[in-house]
Amino acid sequence: MTDTARVSESPSSDEQFDLIVAGSGAAGLSCAVTAAQHGLKVCVLEKTDVIGGTTAWSGGWIWAPCNPVVQRAGIVEDSLAPRLYLQSLLGNHFQADRIDAFLKAAPRMVGFLEENTALEFEGGLAIPDTYSHLPGAGMGGRSVIARPYDARKLGAALELLRKPMHETTFFGMTIQAGPDLRAFLTMLRSSTSFVHVIKRTLRHFRDLALHGRGMDLRNGNALAARLLRSALDLGIDIRTGVSIERLSGTGGRVTGVDLADGASLSASRGVVLACGGFSQNPQAREGVIPRNSEHHSLALESATGDGLRLASGAGGSMDFSLADPAAYCPVSSVPWGNGRTGQFPHIIDRGKPGVIGVLASGRRFCNEGLGYHDYVTALLEATREDKKAESWLVCDHRFLRRYGLGIVRPSPVPSGHWLRNGYLKTGKTPEELAVACGIDPTGLAATIEAWNSHAASGEDPEFGRGSTPYMRLQGDPEQKPNPCVAPIASAPFYAVKVVPGSFGTFAGLATDANARVLMADGTPIAGLYAAGADAASVFGGFYPAGGINLGPALTFGYIAGCHAAGKDI
């Protein structure tokens, strides 16, 4: 028997719109500006007091194969190659209809936003896909990132923009992967880099003094700012601090929302759920996220599953049949000294030469230079029988001052504070470091000895660090012969505890190729869409490349906006 969509009847509303979007991250704002550009009257409802969602905290990379940005740069690939790559990686989790919809719409989304909004993009011309050894893998050009943005262009609306994540900034200054990050890592080895860093830093502290925040926006903060500017230019009604109680409708079709304050809003073309998933809801995570009580999410605290709750009340179904339920990332807990503990995502440091990840036994358990998602899946598997799922990233003094470790910055930024508060552990010998961390001293000493016996010649016979283009890009080109492998021999030695975390959920609402929420029997609910972390990952719980959260979020937001407006992709 066919399921029936369940929506509360709301015959009259206080205000009327064509489309209501719940959530203001990449998915929600992409949908909103797309629909508004096509002539719809759009309202964006945001539960928190600021705009941007977890997008504003992110690295900002967007996976969109065959996009026009990189095509203009001369990278034109066979459009079937990304599909082959995804088939190779996803296996039985490959959903042809949604994958094909994504691959068709992603480059069009990039072009649409370029032509019709304040979005400007730069291409990731040298960024390979994570599993660059698989058939169809890209060697560069499948990713784009929003160009840096001058926050002054937002005017008074700057107050609406969420500030970047504190843990991943330098006193609030965002640093963009690529030439910008390289300059910061090499400022003491290059006069050009030194000048770049000094100029950026001085401008940033000037902006802090004048505006109370950085004004040179980069990464996900630049993306959120440009989307916010676009929404304002298109006259979209943006409301913050608004909670939705339930969806409303008539005849089984969603046509509006009832708010927690008792007001009702109607939406003739439907409602789009882009509330950020359920990463911060321990009850919803139970039985879904492995080692739930030990898991640290990098998503906003407001990502508590509102979209899933609303859709469930209307008959929407969840999809838990994914390879992994979340976009994993290893994290370390940062004690700030004011009673607050933050989480630092270990994205960059693991791939640099001269660091290894070890368990309490002192043994390595994975290829540290592969994707951050893979580090966590390997950690979960290796500690399946252990009381705790924890590891340590171990390095020497040379590594720490050259690259930094976690939130500990490289030279010339001092590291003493992090030693004193216990975030960074140290020892004059590997055994002494092991005791400080609670690692088996004999095991760690043996692991470092074995690593060093091969590292001088650039080899890692145990896991093959540096054996693919993706890994080599994460390394240091100045390290020869292998940019990902160097000895750990310069005392003292250091370590940071690293545990399972994630950027957001992969598990979510079942949706079709048009981003419509599905009932348990696969029937779409008329007038109800979902995108971003509210929708189950189009990639089946795999992490094929950097930017695979924002890429689908923007793309299926764009698809939902087009579909609601009755426009072809």
- pLDDT digit string, tens, across residues 133-168: 999 999 999 999 999 999 999 999 999 999 999 998
Q: Are 158 and 168 members of one domain?
A: yes
Q: Is the pTM of this model over 0.75?
A: yes
Asked whether residue 110 falls in the same domain as residue 250, the answer is yes
- Residues 526, 432, single domain; the answer is no
CB atoms within 10 A of CB 183: 19
Contacts of 481 (CB under 8 A, 6+ apart): 457, 458
Residue 107, preceding peptide bond in cis (omega within 30° of 0): no
28 lies in the same domain as 144: yes
Q: How far apart are alpha carbons 446 and 221 in whole angstroms?
A: 44
Does residue 420 carry a pLDDT above 60? yes
Helix, strand or coil, per DSSP, at residue 317? coil
267 and 158 share a domain?
Answer: yes
- The mean per-residue pLDDT over the stretch 423-446 comes to 98
Cis peptide, bond prior to residue 412, ω within 30 of zero: yes
Task: Please give the distance of CA 461 from its chain centroid, rounded to a whole number.
Answer: 31
The last residue of one of the domains, among 208, 233, 256, is: 208
Segment 64-117, tens digit of pLDDT: 999 999 999 999 999 999 999 999 999 999 999 999 999 999 999 999 999 999
Contacts 24+ apart (CB under 8 A), 384-388: 386/359, 386/360, 388/294
Average pLDDT, the chain: 95
Segments in 331-403 forming alpha helices (H): 372-382, 397-403
Domain stop point among 475, 502, 529? 502
Which ranges of 318-429 would DSSP assign to H, the alpha helix?
372-382, 397-403, 416-420
Final residue in a domain of this structure, among 161, 192, 208: 208
Task: Check residue 488 and report its DSSP letter.
Answer: -
Residue 3, pLDDT score: 52
Q: Is the pLDDT of residue 10 over 50?
A: no
Strands (E) across 308-385 are located at 318-319, 326-335, 341-345, 355-358
The verdict on 404 and 522 lying in the same domain is no
Shortest CA distance to 42 belongs to which of 29, 52, 51? 29
Percentage with pLDDT > 90 across the chain: 90
Instruction: Please state the domain count of the chain.
Output: 3
Distance of CA 78 to the CA centre of its chain: 27
Pairing of strands 143-146, 61-63: antiparallel
Q: Sorting pLDDT into bands at 50, 70 and 90, what band is 6?
A: low
Residues 299 and 408 in one domain: no
One-letter amino acid of 152: R
Rg of the chain, C-alpha, whole Å = 24
What CATH number corresponds to the domain at position 354? 3.90.700.10
Please write the tens of the pLDDT for every residue from 236-256: 999 999 999 999 998 889 999
Same domain, 146 and 241: yes
Strands (E), 382-533: 391-396, 425-427, 493-505, 508-509, 516-518, 524-530
Question: In the structure, what pLDDT confidence band is assigned to residue 568 with cuts at 50, 70 and 90?
Answer: very high
Q: What is the pLDDT of residue 5?
A: 61
Q: Which two tokens stand for residue 17?
A: 């719109």
Q: Determine the structural domain holding residue 433 and report its residue range.
A: 327-502
Q: Judge if 483 and 516 occupy the same domain.
A: no
Model confidence at 7: pLDDT above 60:
no
203 and 113 share a domain? no
Residues 517, 473 within the same domain: no
Are residues 514 and 486 part of one domain? Answer: no
Polymer length of the chain: 569
